[in-house]
Every structure is written in C-alpha cells, then in structure tokens.
Chains A and B, each alone.
Chain A
Amino acid sequence: MSLIQIAWRNFCHRSLSSFLTTLSLALGVGLVVLVLSVFGIVTEAFSRNASVGYNLVVGPKGSALQLTLNSVYYLSQPIENLPFTEYMEFFDAADRAEMVRKYGGDPALGERDGEYAAFIAGGYAIPLALGDYVGEFRAVGTTPDFFENLRHGPNVDEKFRFKEGRAFKGYSDENSYFEAVLGSRVASEMDVHVGQMFYPTHGDPEGQGHGQGFAVVGILEPTGTPNDRAAFVNLEGFYLLENHSKPLTGDETIVENDDWKSRDPDHKPLTIPEREVTSILIRNGNLMFAPGMQNKINEGLQSQAAAPVGEIAKLMTAIVGPLLKALLAITLITCVVAAVGVLVAIYNSMNDRRRDIAVMRALGARRETVTTIILAESLIIALIGGLCGWFLAHFAILAASGYIEEQTGVQVTLFTTSSYELAILPLVIALALLAGFLPAWSAYRTDVGSNLAA
C-alpha cells in the first residue's frame, strides 16, 4: 500500500471529522475565490466601462474624476456646462458654418476651423447634455452619432444593437425632435416599450416634470456598460425642454434662417448662444494626437480633458483596490482559521491514533514514514477542501452569471479564473502542510513501546 492510500484510509475512517474539517476549509477557500472573482469582475467592469470607443472626455474645469463619473458612468452630478461653441471647436470650418446655418448664430464662427479640429481628424466628437431623469435613471441628451460611432464589448468593437426599434433621428416627421432610445435596464425596470412616451423630470428623480414627452423609438440590447442604465433623448429635443435654454444677454450676434418652419413650426431649435453641453466624448482619429490635444485643452481656461481609463485606474488604485484588498485579507485570515481547524482536528485525533502509529512503527515504518502519512492526510484535506471550495465559489458565480452579465457586462463561465486564483491551491496546500506539521511531529515522537503496551 502506498502512503497516500494509508492516509486516505485514515481520512475515510474518521469520516465525520474529516468531512467537517474539509468543509470548513472548502468554505474558507470558497470565500477567498469568491472575493477574488468579485475583485476580477469589478476591475474588468470598471475598465470595460471606461473604454467604450472614445478616449477622452471633455468638460468644464473641475474634478477629472467627477467628469468621468458623470459622463461615462452617469453617476454623480455634472460639474457645469460648456457653451456649445466649445463643442464646435472640434469641427472644421465647413461643419461649423453648417451648424451656424442650421441653428442660427454668429456667421464668424463658420469662418475658421475649430481649435481642436485637426487633432480629431478621422475621429468624432459627441456632445452629452445631462441633468434630467427618467425615473431613477439619467436622461442623456445626445446626437444619433452616439449610436453610430460608439462601440462596446471586450474588444470595444461591437456596435449598439437594438432589441426593439431603431436609433432616434435628428428630426422625424412623426415625432419631431422628441425621440428617445432606452438602455436595456431602463426599459426592463420601467416596463417601457417602443411606441410609448415618457416625460423626463428636471434636476433629480423627484424633480419637476417637463411638459414635453419623448416617444420611445428604440430599446438597446444589454451592453454591460452604464449605457444600459440611461435613457437617451435627442439633443435637439432636450434643448427644447423647459428651462434648458441658456438665457441670452442681448450682446450675441445671431443670424437665423427659417428652415425650421417648414419642418416643425411649433418647435424652433435653439440658437448656438442658447445651447450648452455638459461634456463631449472624443475619439481621436489618430491616438497619437490625443496627449497633445489633452494638454492644449487643459491649458485653456474653460475646459478640461480627462482620459476615462486613467481616471478609473486612479479610482481603483485609490479607493476600490484597497477596499477589495482589505476584504481579501479578511478572507485569507478565514483561510488561516480553517487551516488551524485542520491542525486541531488532526491533532485531536492523534490521541486515538498513537497505538496505530506504534503498530505501524512495529511493522517497520520509520518515524519519517508515519510523519509523511500524517502530512499526507493534511494534503488530502487541503486538496479536497481547496478544489471543493474553488468549485463551490465558481458554481455560485456561474449561478449568478446572468445577473453579473446584466449588471456589469462581464461574461463569466465556470472556469473564468483570475490569475490570483492560481496561487490559491498552492497556498492552501502550504497552509495545510503547516497545519499538519504539529500532529506530524507528535506522530514522529510517538513512543512505540509504551503505546503498544497501552
């Protein structure tokens, strides 16, 4: 018989004690693996959400983290607004002139290229206007480019897909400027479908309702990004809501045309001086130009540019990471406690087994052999407990995989493991062997003569 077979027999013989000891270790390991997995999922969710196709977020001067949180995650409050002309700085003269013609404004704006236009050649700039709510969810005013240009998914190459309907248009004959697209969670939690209307509230979820409603024309499929938790409305419609236009001072130069009357005589789009944006999502056509542009924007007096990935990395390093590490430390202590349980269980069994050890010694087993058998028992408990704990945690994660994917977009399978987990089993084995050392030493020192005679 091999020593492992002998150890296995001893393990099976004290079945209840072995089961309870192994169970406590499995629960400890399961807890550690669960925390590691949550750590991995949170990290991936944060970094994934921070990269949805754009590389910079531009907003008013203030906290870069706050800008990232409210523009990328739709959390926290917007800092302030930027004048629409700041948004126009990302376009060349022809585009700017077209904006002046469409909305009305100072024709001089269309006579030059925007200050940052050259930096984003081949890329895009998408405006966001925040401040309204739909139930508990953020209403995000933006342009149809949002759905056309942004990407998501693990490789940031998946376009938005619609579970129902389509993207809103800048203007449609049936709904004028008042079309909306809902993120998947907004639609499911508010039970809203294409064709229904909703009415944003101003300022906060309990705020005063705007009289103007938006027709839902599309519902997005889940993306696993914060966009699932947003209600997107046409920026033009957003501007037309009550109190959403910037008051004019009277000093502005505004040249208007009457095109709007032929579209919707009841709703005149705001002129450029009346428009504001909360933030601008930027994708540089050539990413090499991003740092230069970011510096130039930050050197200005009005705007700041933040890289969401960098800001989130800072947030992870500063707050989330240490919290998770503290949690990990607590669970590792749990694991050590479980290992002490192994020690106590085996050590307590030694009193009943001294005669067995003495008999084996009388049959020719060396001191080192009986020591190895005891350590092998610890090893068996560690292996079974470790593997059971790992599977326990991963089955729990698998059971919650649908919820996790819905909330974070992170897809998990039974065998989705973090690199930290690879260290778990060796660590548990080392702990168990350490725990087995004391009883093994006791076995080593067992006096054969007195225990055979006992």
Chain B
Amino acid sequence: MNGTPNTLQVVDVVKTFDQPGGGRLKVLDVPQFEIAAGEQVALIGESGGGKTTLLHLIAGLLTPDRGSIRLAGTELTSLSEQGRDRFRASTIGYVFQTFNLLPAFTAVENVRLGMTFGHGHHGSSRAFELLDRVGLADRAHYRPSQLSVGQQQRVAIARALAGKPKLLLADEPTANVDPVSAESVLDLIQQSCVDEHLAMLMVTHSMDVAKRFERVDSLEQINHAFAPTPS
C-alpha cells in the first residue's frame, strides 16, 4: 500500500494487555484500516470493543505489540515516546467524551494549551479566532465550571483544532451532551474538519451519530481480535 500524505494507514496492528490472572488479552487485531486526506469516518462498536484503544494507538499514547501505524507520512511505531509526543502535538487533535477541559484555566487558555506543546506557537489570536468560530468569543475568559456542558464541548473542539492538526480523533464527543447540543456539536466538528481540511475519525456507539457520515466502519469488521477462530 502506498503511503499518501494526510492519510492514516493502520496495517497488521495487534495490541494486547496483561490480564490480572496472568497471560495477555488481545484487544485489537487490525489487519488494515485507512483514512484518506480530508475524509471523515465514523467507527461504531460496542463498549469494550477496543475503540478507545485504537484511538490511543493512532494518537501514539499507546504502542502496538506489532504492526504499522502511518500518519501523514510518518511511521509512528518508529518514533520514540518523545517523538510521538511531539508528533501528536503538531499532527493530531483530540476531542474527548468527557471534554477534559482543565478547570484551572479559562476557555481561551484551554484552547491555547492545545498549541502550547506543539512546534508552532500560533498565539492568542488563533485561540480567540477558534472560540469565535465555535460561538464562544464572549465566553473566552470563563472557566469551565462557568460554562454549560455544550459550551465546554465547543471549547474542547476549539482546543483540538488549535494546533492545526492533520487528523482529528473524536471519542464519543456527544455522549455526555443533550440531543440538541449534540447536533450542533456534530455540525461544528464536521464543518470545522472541512474548513481546516483535516481528516477525522470519530468513534461512537450511536447509529444516529454514525449516519451523518458518508463512511461508517464497524469495529467488528476491522478488529479481528474477538473474531471466532476457524475450527
């Protein structure tokens, strides 16, 4: 398979974890999975199916036991932990299910944190610009505790976009927001990816969310870890 810039390629990736009783549990076995530049993919699957583990592997927070993960032309498995940290800061945006805004920081500071650890220092103006784009320019100096759940997720989206990533990873970003807010959050994420020309992988267990995407993959299809062994 030819590597193309801005394309994610996951090939023959296996991830196992230690089991409390001894031995190792295989939670992920992905022969092939890829996302083209600018493509938006929804990955559906049940809880405990390995969705978050796959996101962590792609983000470089975990390393696979074997296999290749290639993102934007860079082989993640060949990088050191520090290299993966640097790469993540400049290439990947991450939106969490629980938003994970830092309570000590204001909205604009949370967004600025998204660019603190990367190479490029885009400054406050981009942080304000992103908050404006998510409709929270007037809440820039509010702390997370002063924002509604939907507003917090908007700040989290702005933060994920702050470092000008090439891939946005979203882990059930609407699981904790009300249906009305969920719609607007999804609109925002998808439109932002179009505007910023970045690919997106969103994991969800909601078919309502998945149906908004042109491409929907099932974790059961791509992950063979739990597939019955042929007798």
* Interface residues, chain A, with chain B CB atoms under 8 Å away: 1, 6, 9-10, 12-13, 355-356, 358-369, 448-449, 452-453
B residues within 8 A CB of A448?
56, 61
Residue count of chain B within 8 Å CB distance of chain A: 30
A9-B141 Cα distance, complex, nearest whole Å:
13
The reply on B222 being an interface residue by CB < 8 A is no
Say yes or no: A9 contacts B109, CB within 8 Å.
yes
**Residue contact B59 to A1, C-beta cutoff 8 Å:** no
Chain B residues, CB < 8 A from A13:
103-104
Known contacts A1-B116, A6-B116, A363-B89, A452 near B96 by CB under 8 Å: yes
The verdict on B32 contacting chain A, using a C-beta distance below 8 Å, is no
* Least Cβ–Cβ distance between B175 and chain A, in angstroms: 13
Given A358-B100, A365-B117, A449-B62, 8 additional A-B pairs, CB 8 A? A1-B109, A1-B112, A9-B109, A12-B104, A356-B104, A360-B117, A364-B89, A366-B86
A351 to chain B minimum Cβ distance, whole angstroms, is 15
Is B94 a contact partner of A366 (Cβ separation < 8 A)?
Answer: no
B90 proximal to A (CB < 8 A):
yes
Contact B82–A366 (Cβ < 8 Å): yes
Q: Please measure, in the bound complex, the distance between the C-alpha atom of A65 and the C-alpha atom of B56, giving whole angstroms.
A: 79
Tell me the nearest residue of chain B to A364, going by C-beta: B89
Are the C-beta atoms of A361 and B61 separated by less than 8 Å? Answer: yes
* B70 close to chain A: CB less than 8 A: no
Interface of chain B, helix or strand or loop or mixed? helix
Q: Which residues of B contact A359 (CB under 8 A)?
A: 96, 100, 102
| Interface SS of chain A | helix
Number of A-B contacts (CB under 8 A): 75
Q: Which of A13, A356, A452 has its CB near the most chain B CB atoms (within 10 A)? A: A452
Nearest-CB distance from B49 to chain A (Å)? 14
- Least CB distance from A329 to B in Å reads 38
**Counting CB contacts under 8 A, is B50 at the interface?**
no
Highest count of chain A CB atoms <10 Å: which of B86, B102, B112: B102
Sampled A-B contacts (10; CB under 8 Å): A1-B116, A359-B100, A362-B88, A363-B117, A364-B88, A364-B117, A366-B85, A449-B56, A449-B62, A452-B61
Residue of A nearest to B169 (CB): A362
B113 part of interface (Cβ distance < 8 Å): yes
Chain A nearest CB, measured from B157 CB (Å): 13
Beyond A1-B109, A1-B116, is A364–B100 a contact (Cβ under 8 Å)? Answer: no
* B52 proximal to A (CB < 8 A): yes
B173 close to A (CB within 8 Å): no
Q: Does B104 lie within 8 Å of A9, measured CB to CB?
A: yes
Contact of A363 among B62, B103, B104, B113 (CB under 8 A): B113
A10 to B89, CA, bound (A): 21
Give every chain A residue within 8 A of B118 (Cβ-Cβ): 364
B residues sitting closer than 8 Å to A (CB atoms) are 52-53, 56, 59, 61-62, 81-82, 85-86, 88-90, 92, 94, 96, 100, 102-105, 109, 112-114, 116-118, 159, 163
Q: Return the contact of A362 from the options B90, B94, B109, B112 (Cβ within 8 A).
A: B94
- Tell me whether A363 and B159 are in contact (CB under 8 A): yes
Residue of A10, A355, A362, A369 near B61 (CB, 8 A) is: A362
Contacts of A368 in B (CB 8 A): 82
Q: Report the Cα distance A453→B175, complex, angstroms.
A: 13
Contact partner, B86, options A12, A355, A361, A364, Cβ 8 Å:
A364
Residues of A near B104 (CB, < 8 A) are: 9-10, 12-13, 356
Across the interface, B100 reaches (CB within 8 A) one of A1, A355, A365, namely A355
Q: How far is the CA of A358 from the CA of B102 in the complex (A)?
A: 11
User: Lowest 4 A-B CB distances belong to which pairs?
Assistant: A364-B89, A13-B104, A364-B117, A366-B85
Which A residue sits closest to B171, measured CB to CB? A452
Give the nearest-CB partner of B96 in chain A: A452
Residues of B within 8 A of A453 (CB): 52
Chain B residue nearest to A3 in the complex (CB)? B116
Residue numbers in B under 8 Å from A361 (CB-CB): 61, 85
The residues of A that contact B96 with a CB separation of less than 8 Å are: 359, 362, 452
Q: Which residue of B90, B94, B113 contacts A1 across the interface (Cβ within 8 Å)?
A: B113
Contacts of A365 in B (CB 8 A): 85, 89, 116-117
Q: Report A269 CB to chain B, min CB distance, Å.
A: 86
Query: Could you tell me the distance between the alpha carbons of A360 and B109 in the complex, rounded to whole angstroms?
Result: 13
Kindly provide the distance from the CB of A16 to the nearest chain B CB, expressed in whole angstroms. Answer: 14
Whole-angstrom distance between the Cβ of A373 and the nearest chain B Cβ: 10
Residues on B with C-beta less than 8 A from A449 are 52-53, 56, 61-62
For B105, the chain A residues whose CB sits under 8 A away are 9
A365 to B60 alpha-carbon distance, docked (Å): 12
B71, chain A: closest CB distance, angstroms = 14
Tell me which residues across on chain B come within 8 A of A356, comparing CB atoms. Answer: 102-104
> Which single member of B52, B90, B102 contacts A364 (CB below 8 Å)?
B90
Whole-angstrom distance between the Cβ of B70 and the nearest chain A Cβ: 19
Smallest CB–CB gap between A387 and chain B, Å? Answer: 23
Please give, as numbers and ranges, the residues of chain A lying within 8 Å of B92 by CB-CB distance: 364
Residues of chain B contacted by A9 (CB below 8 angstroms): 104-105, 109
Given A12-B104, A356-B102, A452-B100: A362 touches B59 (CB 8 Å cut-off)? yes
Measured CA separation A27–B100 after assembly (Å): 37
Q: Which of B56, B89, B100 has the most A CB atoms < 10 Å from its CB? A: B100
Q: What is the chain A residue whose CB lies nearest that of B127?
A: A1
Q: Are B61 and A366 in contact (CB under 8 A)?
A: no
Cβ–Cβ < 8 Å partners of B102 in chain A: 356, 359-360
- Looking at the assembled complex, report how far the CB atom of B90 sits from the nearest CB atom of chain A, in whole angstroms: 7
Closest-by-CB residue of B relative to A359 is: B100
Q: Which of B56, B86, B116 has the most chain A CB within a 10 Å cutoff? A: B116
